[in-house]
Structure 1
Amino acid sequence: MIWDTADTTFAENLAAARAYYAQADTLAAPRHATALDKPVGQWLTNLRRPGGLGKDPERAARRAEQLAAIDPDWNPGQLGWTVDWQRHWAGLAALLAGGAGLEEIVPGVTHHGDDIGRWLTRQARDWTGLNPEQQHRLGEMGVKPAARPQKTATRANAKAGAAKGSDAFTRGVAALQQYIAREEKHVVGRGHVEELPDGTTVKLGVFLSNQKNRRDRLTDDQLAQLTNLGYHWAVA
């Protein structure tokens, strides 16, 4: 007898998640991913959204524990980075575990369709835009920041001026990270407003548009943060 169909459905999808993890070494699945004929990618995306684990706190906690037992990093948004970053990091770990050296993982080297080499090059180049835990995880694998060429004095002065708005920029990036981790997309509507955990709000669509229009006045660190979030127009 089935007492709770919701729990039964969750258990079936959880089995599919285990099967996916056995194949991919991560639960950072793209939305289109399937396993055991279940749309496990979309299911995980839904679970990561606020309230996605259910309204009952005890049930939600139990489900979170079950997912963490498969992959402790099943919800990378709580760690401060995107599902896409987590999947590429797991891909790098898999390639290294398989015997590849860092020097061999160049652009064009893929894992389950993701270009890990290109991603790795970007991480080393944009190191300052990573948070401390991301730097630590990559550092444990032997990844180091790439050497940067010296900038001209004119550009340096222009960048220094942009730093005055760093507090607003920091709030904007935090809101952007939260939005991408939840929605798993980078397109933000012009009128979208994102609320941060401390209750402050950010006009996210306007913020993103402004950064794109003034990218020549952003600091290298600010450009790197936007690049690592997937906005390649910010490449320094």
Structure 2
Amino acid sequence: MTGERAAELEELGIVWDTADHGFETNLGAARAYYELHGTLAAPRGATILDIAIGQWLTNIRRPGGLGKDQGRARRRAAALAAIVPDWNPGTRGWTVDWQRHYAYLAQLLAEGARMTAVVPGVTRHGEDVGRWLATQRRNWDRLNAEQQQRLGELGVKKAPRARRAPAKTAAASGAARGRGRARAARPSRKALRPSRSTSRGKASCRGAPVCRKRPTGTSTASGYGLANQKQRRDRLDAGQFAALAELGVD
């Protein structure tokens, strides 16, 4: 067939290769998606112009997805790269999801958003870019060198290491033990109150190793508790000394 006849048939809409025709149709949808989203890192369920563009892009990213003919595959890859070089992020070492969020972050910053304002809850096209950004900063060391470089060019930095707060449980337990010791050291007025007998002048000192007669006719039974207070006298405060003095303890 002469070239002239072939051209006439093409003007009438003849399709010589149905595979190429399908690719061109989907390529047109890919251009439309890029104009709307600024990336070809579409989620698998994305559609545009009644074409399942997300699934189509997923298929052609697979090994051999552009066709078995090497020349045709190179031409198709070049056509996709003409839309955006990062159409297949797997060849660069990261996922489509990472590429999509990175593109959306770049768009937000280009439109005037401050990096400090991109916090969890800030979304674009339904994607939580703020939460993704926080994860990248926290997991900075897990990113490859090019990912770190790209984020760094946008002004993203590694999250500072959080300081470990002192263990509150241990501190609280220590404080409780300290209060317990303080209560134990404080003398009990009831325990050191003079024990009176039914007849004035007589005193009961049962169970107490020390029994002292007071001028009023009563006696004080300090017992082992008083002995303990004397041993801990260096821990008593002025109020405690005064309480003991009222009970006649020297």
TM norm. shorter chain > 0.5: yes
Cα distance in 1, alignment partners of residues 73 and 163 from structure 2: 50
Cα shift readout 1:204-227 (whole Å, capped 9, x = no counterpart)? xxxxxxxxxxxxxxxxxxxxxxxx
Equivalent residue in structure 1 for 2:110, among 81, 97, 118: 97
Give 1:46's aligned amino acid: N
Give 1:149's aligned amino acid: A
Equivalent residue in structure 1 for 2:29, among 3, 11, 16: 16
Q: Tell me the equivalent position of 1:25.
A: 38
Q: Normalised by the size of structure 1, how large is the TM-score?
A: 0.63
Shift of 1:150: 5.8
Q: Tell me the equivalent position of 2:56.
A: 43
Question: Could you say which structure has the larger radius of gyration?
Answer: 2
Cα distance in 1, alignment partners of residues 103 and 144 from structure 2: 17
Equivalent residue in structure 2 for 1:52, among 65, 68, 86: 65
Q: Tell me the equivalent position of 1:136.
A: 149
1:70 aligns with 2:110: no
1:107 aligns with 2:117: no
Cα distance in 2, alignment partners of residues 2 and 48 from structure 1: 25
Higher relative contact order (CA 8 A, sep 6+): 1
Cα shift readout 1:82-138 (whole Å, capped 9, x = no counterpart)? 000000000101111111010010000001011000000010111000000000000
Structure 1 unaligned segments of length 5 or more: list them. 152-236
User: Superposition pairs for residues 1-236 of structure 1, below 5 Å?
Assistant: 1-149=14-162
Structure 2 unaligned segments of length 5 or more: list them. 1-13, 165-250
Cα distance in 1, alignment partners of residues 61 and 117 from structure 2: 34
Identity of aligned residues (%): 66
Give 1:104's aligned amino acid: A
Cα distance in 2, alignment partners of residues 145 and 78 from structure 1: 25
Cα distance in 2, alignment partners of residues 43 and 114 from structure 1: 21
Cα distance in 1, alignment partners of residues 158 and 103 from structure 2: 19
Q: Normalised by the size of structure 2, how large is the TM-score?
A: 0.60
Cα distance in 2, alignment partners of residues 23 and 106 from structure 1: 24
Cα distance in 1, alignment partners of residues 22 and 87 from structure 2: 19
Where 2:156 maps in the other structure, the secondary structure is coil
Cα distance in 1, alignment partners of residues 68 and 56 from structure 2: 16
What's the Cα RMSD here? 1.2
Shift of 1:148: 1.3
Shift of 1:37: 1.1
